[in-house]
C-alpha cells in the first residue's frame, strides 16, 4: 500500500486516501513516454512494450512520443522542462550517462533535472570480427592485436555511443592500439565488418545474433560478466581483460520535482511491466535482460555510470559542442 490510512478515518476518507496516487496522475488522462530515438529501434520497442503494460495497469492511455536527435538530448531536455505531474516521462538509454561528459554543454543537469523511476533493461554487447580474423578467442585476439599495433580497424556505428565506449574501454584497459573507423549508423558499420572491409566492431547482442549464428561474423567475447544464453561458448571479455564490463541499459526518468507518491506509483507500474512474461520474452529473444530497480538504485547507478564514462571520454579526448 502506498499510503498510510490513519485510524479513525471514515470509509469514504479511506477510499479517497487510497485513490490519491491515481488521482494525482490523472490530471491528464494521457501519459507520454518520450524516447530520444526514431520509431522502430530498440529503445522505441522497449518503450512501446512498457507503455502497453503500464497503460493496462494504471488504466490510463500511455503513448510513446519519439524525439530523436543529439544522442537523446532533445528528448531529455523536453522532459526536463516538462511539468512535474507524472504525465511526461523519459525512456532513455546509456547515452544519458555518456553525454554528461561527452558534450561540452548540455541544456540540463543530468542528475539535478530528473527524477529516477526504474531501470528497464540491460543489453550486453558482443565483440565481433570478420569471419577470417586471425584469432579464435579473446586471448588470441589480444596477442594478435598487440603484435601488430595500429594494423587493425574497428567500426563505430555512432561516435559517443555505448558501443563506441565499449571499444574505448577495452583499449584503455588492455593497451590495444586499434584504429577507429566511424560510420553514420550501426547498419553500414556492420555491413563493412561482414564484408571484411573493417576488422571488428562492438555490436549489440541483438544486432549480432543472426550473423554470428550464420557464421558470417565471429564472436570473440561478450561485455557482460557472465556468458549469455544466446551466445553459448562465447566467454566474457572480462575473463581475459580483467575487470572489463560494458553493458547498455534502458531506464525511465521523470522531470525533477515529482512528488514521492507519484514516483512510487510510477515505479510500481514500471516494475510490474518489466516483470511481465511477454516483456521478458521480448528481451530474451534479443539477447537482453529485463531489469527493474527502485528509484534510489537507479539514481545511484546513474551517478556511478556518469563517473565511469567520464573516465573513458577523457581517455578518448572526444567532445561534442
Can you state the percent helix, strand and coil of the chain, rounding each to 5? Answer: 45, 20, 35
pLDDT in tens, 10-44: 333 333 333 334 445 545 689 999 999 999 888 99
Q: Which of 35-49, 72-86, 102-116 has the lowest mean pLDDT?
A: 35-49
SS3 290: strand
Please tell me the predicted confidence (pLDDT) of residue 27: 57
Does residue 321 have a pLDDT over 90? no
Section 79-91 average pLDDT: 98
pLDDT tens digit string along 240-285? 999 999 999 999 999 999 999 999 999 999 999 999 999 999 998 7
Q: Which CATH superfamily is domain 30-123+248-316 in?
A: Bordetella uptake gene, domain 1 (3.40.190.150)
What pLDDT does 40 receive? 84
What is the arrangement of strands in the sheet containing 114-123, beginning at the earlier edge strand? Answer: 61-66, 30-35, 88-93, 248-255, 114-123, 289-290
pLDDT at residue 318 in the model: 85
What mean pLDDT comes out for the span 63-87?
96
pLDDT reported for residue 116 = 99
In this chain, the answer to whether the domains covering 30-123+248-316 and 124-239 adopt an identical fold is yes
Q: Provide the 3-class DSSP secondary structure of residue 206.
A: helix
Report domain extents, the chain.
Answer: 30-123+248-316, 124-239
Q: Predicted confidence band at 320 (pLDDT cuts at 50, 70, 90)?
A: confident
Mean pLDDT across the chain, nearest whole number? 90
Question: Which carries the bigger pLDDT value, residue 161 or residue 297?
Answer: 297
Of residues 8 and 208, more confidence is placed in: 208
How far apart (Å, rounded) are the C-alpha atoms in residues 230 and 288?
9
Please report which confidence band the pLDDT of residue 4 belongs to, taking 50, 70 and 90 as the band edges. Answer: very low
Q: Does 163 score more than 90 pLDDT? A: yes
CA 121 to CA 289: how far, in whole Å?
A: 6
Residue given cell 531501470 in the structure block: 119
Instruction: Say which range, 113-122, 154-163, 230-239, 255-264, has the weakest mean pLDDT.
Output: 154-163
Look up the CATH number of domain 124-239.
3.40.190.10
Percent of the chain whose pLDDT exceeds 70: 91
Closest Cα to residue 123, out of 202, 183, 48, 65? Answer: 202
Which pLDDT score, from 0 to 100, does residue 29 have?
83
Residue 298 has a pLDDT of 98
**Distance from first CA to last CA of the chain, Å, rounded?**
47
Is the four-CA dihedral 220, 166, 74, 255 of positive or negative sign? positive
Average pLDDT over residues 178-188: 92
The span from the CA of 298 to the CA of 292, in Å, is 9
Per-residue pLDDT band for 287 (boundaries 50, 70, 90) equals confident
Neighbours of 133 (CB within 10 A): 20
Amino acid at each position: 500500500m502506498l499510503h498510510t490510512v490513519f485510524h479513525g478515518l471514515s470509509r469514504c476518507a479511506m477510499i479517497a486516501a487510497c485513490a490519491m496516487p491515481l488521482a494525482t496522475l490523472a490530471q491528464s488522462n494521457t501519459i507520454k513516454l518520450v524516447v530520444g530515438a526514431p520509431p522502430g529501434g530498440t529503445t522505441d520497442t522497449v518503450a512501446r512494450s512498457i507503455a502497453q503494460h503500464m497503460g493496462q495497469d494504471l488504466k490510463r492511455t500511455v503513448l510513446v512520443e519519439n524525439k530523436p536527435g543529439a544522442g537523446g538530448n532533445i528528448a531529455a531536455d523536453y522532459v526536463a522542462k516538462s511539468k512535474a505531474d507524472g504525465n511526461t516521462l523519459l525512456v532513455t538509454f546509456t547515452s544519458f550517462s555518456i553525454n554528461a561528459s561527452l558534450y561540452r554543454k548540455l541544456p540540463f543537469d543530468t542528475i539535478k533535472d530528473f527524477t529516477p523511476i526504474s531501470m528497464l533493461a540491460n543489453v550486453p554487447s558482443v565483440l565481433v570480427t570478420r569471419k577470417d580474423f586471425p584469432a579464435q578467442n579473446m586471448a588470441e585476439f589480444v596477442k594478435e592485436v598487440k603484435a601488430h599495433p595500429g594494423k587493425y580497424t574497428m567500426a563505430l556505428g555512432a561516435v559517443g555511443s555505448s558501443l563506441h565506449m565499449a571499444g574505448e574501454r577495452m583499449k584503455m584497459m588492455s593497451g590495444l592500439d586499434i584504429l577507429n573507423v566511424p560510420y553514420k549508423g550501426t547498419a553500414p558499420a556492420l555491413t563493412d565488418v561482414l564484408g571484411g572491409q573493417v576488422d571488428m566492431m562492438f555490436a549489440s547482442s541483438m544486432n549480432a545474433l543472426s550473423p554470428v549464428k550464420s557464421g558470417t561474423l565471429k564472436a570473440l567475447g561478450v561485455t557482460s560478466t557472465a556468458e549469455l544464453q544466446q551466445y553459448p561458448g562465447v566467454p566474457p571479455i572480462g575473463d581475459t581483460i580483467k575487470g572489463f564490463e560494458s553493458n547498455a541499459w534502458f531506464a525511465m526518468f521523470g522531470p525533477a520535482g515529482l512528488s514521492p507518491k507519484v514516483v512510487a506509483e510510477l515505479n510500481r507500474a514500471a516494475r510490474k511491466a518489466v516483470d511481465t512474461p511477454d516483456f521478458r520474452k521480448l528481451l530474451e529473444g534479443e539477447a537482453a535482460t529485463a531489469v527493474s530497480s527502485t528509484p534510489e538504485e537507479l539514481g545511484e547507478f546513474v551517478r556511478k555510470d556518469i563517473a565511469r564514462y567520464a573516465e573513458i571520454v577523457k581517455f578518448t579526448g572526444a567532445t561534442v559542442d
